[in-house]
Amino acid sequence: MPDVNIQQVIDLAREAGKEIMTIYAQDFSVETKGDNSPLTQADKKSNAVIVSGLRRMYPEIPIISEETKLTSYEERKNWKTYWLVDPLDGTKEFIKKNGEFTVNIALMSHGQPVLGVVYAPAQNKMWYGMKESGSFIVHDDGTKTQLGKGKNWRDLSKINVVASRSHLDENTMKFVEDLRKEGKEVDFVSSGSSLKFCLVAEGKADVYPRFAPTMEWDTAAGQAVVELAGGIVLNWETKKRLEYNKENLLNPFFIVEFPS
């Protein structure tokens, strides 16, 4: 893992969050990208802050960001280390003004996240994880709490399932119904963006099944926070860790949990 100062990345996420909240407080226009996903000035301004900051501080580490033209696979497939950024995860939540959006910055090494920062600027909440240090939540007053290993949801009689607020699907509902048929008591928690990973890492949710499309930049920072708290993020079909820097950056379905 390269020598990276986690506090610099945290500060950069906060700086991007300030730009987002300036737009959030205004009337803003919404564009539609080629994949029909929404784009706002906040996405663009946050991206500019993060990309310029990372290039200034770590010019030797390349960047993949949702809002920056993607480097060709022929070039990036050989990257051992790179940044993976979603400057505004949960743009739909941002547009709805419900506060459930995040800034995601992850450092990838040999295809896996080894550092992740997730910042929710509307809530002033920060989660981060770094290899060899663990995962933490930073509270409003600046104090931090280390996130520890939770229990596997299969061992619980009452299960808190977290799912997307904007992308609730039949497979997730079936997952919940199957648990109830097993006699489990299920509480259903909806949340936007990568906050779902953080809820599992904190122990406020026991499991996050994802049966709808996500991209690699949506998951990397949250995965770092969960895994460095002792959790796992697994491909639903293969039960292996998610793969990154694929030719197609679309993720398979996955599940976020703590191991037995």
| Predicted TM-score (pTM) of this structure | 0.95
Locate 198 and state its tokens: 């953080």
Predicted confidence at residue 167, as pLDDT, reads: 62
- In tens digits, the chain (260 residues) has pLDDT values of 778 999 999 999 999 999 999 999 998 999 998 888 889 999 999 999 999 999 999 999 999 999 999 999 999 999 999 999 999 999 999 999 999 999 999 999 999 999 999 999 999 999 999 998 999 999 888 899 999 888 999 999 999 999 876 666 899 989 999 999 999 999 988 888 999 999 999 999 999 999 989 999 999 999 999 999 999 999 999 999 999 999 999 999 999 999 98
Cβ pair 20, 49 in contact under 8 A:
no
- Structural domains of the chain in order of their starting residue, each with its CATH number: 6-147 (3.30.540.10), 153-257 (3.40.190.80)
For helices 41-57 and 6-24, the axis angle rounded to 10 degrees is 160
Interacting residues of 40 by C-beta distance below 8 A, sequence separation 6+? 23, 28, 29, 30, 31, 88, 91, 94, 95
